Structure 1
Amino acid sequence: MPADQSTQKQHGEEAQRTSSVASHRVPRAVDAVPGAPSSLAPSERYQLTRVGRRARIGQIFKLARTYEVWRGLTPERMRSLIEDLGPMFVKMGQILATRSEILPQEYCDELGRLRTEVEPVPFSVVRDCLEAEYGIAPEHVFAWIAEHPLGSASLAQVHRARLVTGEDVAVKVQRPGAQQIMAQDIDIMRSLARHVSRFMRSEQVIDFTGVVEELWQSFREETNFLMEAKNLEEFYDLHVGVPNISCPRPYTAYCTEHIVVMDYIEGISVEDPATLRAAGFRLHDIGSQIVEDYAQQVLDDGFFHADPHAGNIIVSGGVIYFIDLGMVGRMGGHDRSLVQEMIFSIARGNVADLKDALMRFAVSRGDSSELDHAAFLTDLDYIVSDFAARDLQDLDVGGLFNALVNLARKNDVELPSVVTMFARGLVTLEGLLSEYLPDVNMIEIIARHMSRSTNPVSAAQEMASELKTDSWKALKSSLVAAGQLDLASRMLTRGQLKINTQLLGSEQVLRHIGGIIDRLSMAIVVAGLFIGSSVVYYAKIEPVIFGIPVIGFLGYSSALVLALGLGREIWRNSHGK
């Protein structure tokens, strides 16, 4: 990649420029804008009502009838339908655009246009949004704002502008009503997930409730632009000493929950490799630097871009800029070390180490004793046989983590959401590599990064820091346990101590024991009916029909029916049904 000698100078000028802006505050009307997430309940904050839910469901069905989805959809009609359905469906369409194993390639290509070709809202609406957020006319904040947006997405659109203090900026404005529509759609999905979960067994591959809750958490973070401004600032600070990698720096004084003001970066999107090549850039160098930095984000910083598709990366003046940090992932030192263990366990074909690392990473749903470890290891064998036979540089890390996520769900093991975000990010970057690094696998670059970053001194320092934190937690827990033990001892001496016990074990075994007890009880009832009916028969208790007491006849009949039913259950149980 051609190096720009003015890059460092450019960074210095930007730092001075943004520091001067930090001292300038928008008028007090802006400070009065509520920024932090409201403490109101979601139903009140996002205006979620039963009437609104029914109206939204009616809109969805109306659009389905308009597009006649039961007759099939062409790629173009599917994209148009998704755009009309609203921002949440557009977001899902963007995810599906990267999943060619789910949809044919022509559908993925068409849905890929949802990233940048969403119909923009009129500029008059944007201006009204700015005035509503700031409480003053936009002319008091911006010297001018371009009416035509730089880009329009499902949630927001970006306009170029200039502050009254003279700085060129990009203004990201959230679409009016998008937050409420997305909240309403997720609320509908939540209701559907609750009903569906009643009919889904625990061994089903997809945990609908967990997926929807993860979607809800992602929605809350992505629609709060103050959080995105904080992410931009943190990403910028982490890359101050990193050559040729950065992000637009936010102007926090002008940011609200629905507006982000950041540096305007004019460059070439990596979606356009032909233009980059014509400008003299080497695609191989760009791709290598992107993957190298992504490895640093995940494995060193523990703070990474969770949606690194080509539209969110631009090149300007020899510097690669990551933009749109609405979705980020965070990993602690412990999680980062487990990710490395999992990758190398797969490469070495060591199923035991892979299982150990995965189980230390995972959070099991329900009682961990119910996990079928034999079946879990068998599934891991399939993954190892698929991936471990390859050389390290040929290992498909994106496919690997997707396989592990599916494996975890199948075995009723819940992985942290950060693993899913990491896996999605790797799959997205691998799509970029097909154009920029056709002969190099991403894991090769990540492996080199891990080998270079393995510094014994820093590793020892990080381990010592984690040991210090764990020791403090252990000491605190010990003090709490000592206090509880003292309380238990005093209650024991006073005769006030009560002990609750719980039998832990397989529910299947307990149900089997319960079935045995039920059948034994039924056998006793049958025997009692037979003996009681015999006593009535010999006593000739009236009324009598054909020489048989009616009560005795009913007792014999009941005993016969129950005995036949009991025999049937015993036979089915003995034949494993």
Structure 2
Amino acid sequence: MFGIKLPQKQNLKRYNALFMVLTKYGFEDIMANSQARKFIPKKYLLKHPDTEKRLSGSTFQRIRMVLEELGPSYVKMGQIMSNRDDMLPPDLVKELEKLQDHAPTLQNFEVEKVLSQELNINCPQYFLSIDPKPLAAASLAQVHKAQLLNGDWVALKIQRPNIAEVIASDISIMKEVAEALEKYSAQVKAFQPAKLVESFEKSVNEELSFHREMDNMEHFARNFMDNNDIYVPKLYRELSNDHIICMEWIDGIKVSELEKLKAKNIDSSAVAKVGVDLYLEQVLEHGFFHADPHPGNLFVLPEVQKICFIDFGMMGTIMPKDKEALIDLLLCFLKKDVRKLIPVLKKIAIRSEIPDEKKLEYDLYELVEGISNTSIRNIKLGITLKQFKNVLYENKITIPHYLYILIRALVIIEGVGLKLDPEFNITDNLEPYMAKITRKRFGLKRLFKKNLNRFQDYNALLDKLPDDINEIVDKIKDGKLVIVHEHKGLDEFRKTLKTAFNRLVYAVIIAALSIGSALLVMADMPPKVSGIPVLGAIGFGLSAIIGLVILISIYRSKKD
């Protein structure tokens, strides 16, 4: 009624909590400009009239504090949105990044009870020990260390109780509030809250599916089966389900712990090179890459001299055709070829509404020229990719979601490399891959395979051609062949033709009236007025009126 969408009964408590926290941190101004104000508890507003004045933090700091206080769903949303610097202002992204390590541990969490219920097992028959104290806590799950009966140490990643239901309820509220805020607040609309919620929903649903994460883990392991530089943790499927993952415990050193690496006599610059090589292999060769390669997800294993990736909840996938286009894009950038860059960009984009192609060409030329004037040793990929995203945004080019994930991941991996080695430059790792890919493209094996595929396509076409021709001939014989032909501007032509015919009809009527009236006058046919036949006079009068109407119509049409 009256266009107001009331919250569902089960969401009322979450609405109440949401608006109390928003009001507490001084967002009464936003709430007042939306229909959401109807749900703010009046008692709270009366008790806290000067909330905003008492808060000294910036708007973006308060947004981060609101998300922290609202709980796991909102913390997770903040974490995911911290990756969307294509949609959010840099200062807000900086604040949201602080949420990456923030997650409260569950109080009075009975690990053994949860395992028994979820896996339908008797824990002592499988585990020697389970640490009740979590070693790490995230917004969706927390990790406990345990030891199996065979002596293996494992990590148990356990979803927070009822987290899927809580997130579903919170997303429902987020959508309603986002729609209301977009409608009533121009300030908030600029952040595209509805799109942010949509992006969050997709990402969080992927992370909530532990079966998917386990599949990702096994897929990743298969891709690196023959690589001696990488280690993938063992997965215990029999002790896992959609809410629990049991995997090998990784006793390694985080790549960010430089002092520990130094104490083990590990060359950090070599770690940087190998780690980035492994990542580029994921992207450019496998088309299946870790979407969140931050230092907490990358370990060095001193005993086996390998690098280990963990947490496979967020992965990026590149289709073979997209991988070809992505490689073309990178090659164009490295060769600084603007002429070829634009068609490749159009090919890779999911939507392009370029208002001015010349401007796009100029913007890309300026970007590439900036790279050209910089020594390849001094090119910072993170800065270049950020400038590239700005060019896309300004020229209304929408690239696939995987590419945004990849851009962010490459920026992160470059940052990891720079931390390990201040002299690190990712282009040193990229160039050998590009050279290798170029050789492969012009190699006899690839050319043969490509031509073989084309030959198979042509052969399939020739096989189907007689049947297709017979089908067309049969349709012609049966009179069922329909040809649809569209004329652009035909409506306008019809309108003009109709006007011309109408005028021609009027002209014929005028001519007929004039001739008939003249005959009546010449026949001196009664009745008469002042010696003039009345019918003849009426005929001439009607001819004059119709003629005047046509003249006025012609004059107006010329004026238009």
Aligned length: 478
1:352: which partner in 2? 339
2:23 is equivalent to residue 65 of structure 1: yes
CA distance in 1 between counterparts of 2:124 and 2:159 reads: 19
Q: What does 1:387-466 align with in structure 2 at a 5 Å threshold?
A: 387-452=371-436, 455-456=439-440, 459-465=443-449
Whether contact under 8 Å (1:214, 1:417) holds in the other structure is no
CA distance in 2 between counterparts of 1:376 and 1:104 reads: 24
Select which of 304, 321, 334 maps to 2:289.
304
- More displaced 10-residue stretch of structure 1: 425-434 or 466-475: 466-475
Residues 100 and 488 of structure 1, relative CA distance in 2, 3 Å threshold = closer
CA distance in 2 between counterparts of 1:474 and 1:62 reads: 66
2:365 is equivalent to residue 384 of structure 1: no
2:308: which partner in 1? 321
2:161 is equivalent to residue 176 of structure 1: yes
Any gaps of 5 or more consecutive residues in structure 1? 1-48, 505-509, 526-555, 571-577
2:293 is equivalent to residue 292 of structure 1: no
Residues 391 and 63 of structure 1, relative CA distance in 2, 3 Å threshold = same
1:234: which partner in 2? 219
CA distance in 2 between counterparts of 1:438 and 1:57 reads: 48
- More displaced 10-residue stretch of structure 1: 346-355 or 336-345: 336-345
Residues 406 and 82 of structure 1, relative CA distance in 2, 3 Å threshold = same
Describe the SS at the equivalent of 1:124.
coil
CA distance in 2 between counterparts of 1:453 and 1:220 reads: 35
Which structure ranks higher in relative contact order (CA pairs < 8 Å, sequence separation ≥ 6)? 1
Offset of 1:406 from its aligned partner?
4.6
CA distance in 2 between counterparts of 1:197 and 1:76 reads: 21
Residues 422 and 438 of structure 1, relative CA distance in 2, 3 Å threshold = same
CA distance in 1 between counterparts of 2:374 and 2:464 reads: 50
- More displaced 10-residue stretch of structure 1: 346-355 or 126-135: 126-135
Describe the SS at the equivalent of 2:284.
helix
Letter of the aligned partner of 1:440 in structure 2?
Answer: F
1:547: which partner in 2? none
2:134 is equivalent to residue 149 of structure 1: yes
Residues 269 and 78 of structure 1, relative CA distance in 2, 3 Å threshold = farther
2:120 is equivalent to residue 135 of structure 1: yes
CA distance in 2 between counterparts of 1:194 and 1:514 reads: 40
Residues 54 and 239 of structure 1, relative CA distance in 2, 3 Å threshold = same
Describe the SS at the equivalent of 2:109.
helix
Deviations 1:161-216 (A, max 9, x none): 122343211111112232233344445555677789999xxxx9998776655544
Any gaps of 5 or more consecutive residues in structure 2? 1-6, 30-51, 503-548
Whether contact under 8 Å (1:119, 1:152) holds in the other structure is yes
Select which of 115, 125, 144 maps to 1:159.
144
Letter of the aligned partner of 2:224 in structure 1?
Answer: H
Whether contact under 8 Å (1:150, 1:158) holds in the other structure is yes
- More displaced 10-residue stretch of structure 1: 233-242 or 144-153: 233-242
Describe the SS at the equivalent of 2:155.
strand
- More displaced 10-residue stretch of structure 1: 115-124 or 414-423: 115-124
Residues 197 and 91 of structure 1, relative CA distance in 2, 3 Å threshold = same
- More displaced 10-residue stretch of structure 1: 289-298 or 213-222: 213-222
Letter of the aligned partner of 2:70 in structure 1?
Answer: L
CA distance in 2 between counterparts of 1:188 and 1:468 reads: 54
Select which of 85, 100, 105 maps to 1:115.
100
Q: What does 1:413-562 align with in structure 2 at a 5 Å threshold?
A: 413-452=397-436, 455-456=439-440, 459-465=443-449, 467-469=451-453, 472=456, 483=467, 486-502=470-486
Offset of 1:520 from its aligned partner?
12
Letter of the aligned partner of 1:393 in structure 2?
Answer: R
Whether contact under 8 Å (1:205, 1:410) holds in the other structure is no
Whether contact under 8 Å (1:394, 1:444) holds in the other structure is no
CA distance in 2 between counterparts of 1:250 and 1:174 reads: 17
CA distance in 1 between counterparts of 2:421 and 2:159 reads: 35
Whether contact under 8 Å (1:193, 1:208) holds in the other structure is yes
Answer with 1 or 2: which has the greater Rg.
Answer: 2
Residues 98 and 230 of structure 1, relative CA distance in 2, 3 Å threshold = closer
Offset of 1:422 from its aligned partner?
0.9
Identity within the alignment, %:
26
Deviations 1:424-447 (A, max 9, x none): 101212332342232232122222
CA distance in 1 between counterparts of 2:152 and 2:221 reads: 18
Letter of the aligned partner of 2:75 in structure 1?
Answer: V
Offset of 1:90 from its aligned partner?
2.1
RMSD: 4.6
1:245: which partner in 2? 230
Select which of 262, 271, 277 maps to 2:247.
262
Deviations 1:86-126 (A, max 9, x none): 44432343356568996677x76765453334101135354
2:318 is equivalent to residue 331 of structure 1: yes
Residues 348 and 458 of structure 1, relative CA distance in 2, 3 Å threshold = closer
CA distance in 2 between counterparts of 1:398 and 1:53 reads: 41
Whether contact under 8 Å (2:78, 2:96) holds in the other structure is yes
Letter of the aligned partner of 2:258 in structure 1?
Answer: P
Residues 159 and 109 of structure 1, relative CA distance in 2, 3 Å threshold = farther
Describe the SS at the equivalent of 1:390.
coil
The TM-score with structure 2 as length reference comes to 0.71
CA distance in 2 between counterparts of 1:217 and 1:400 reads: 28
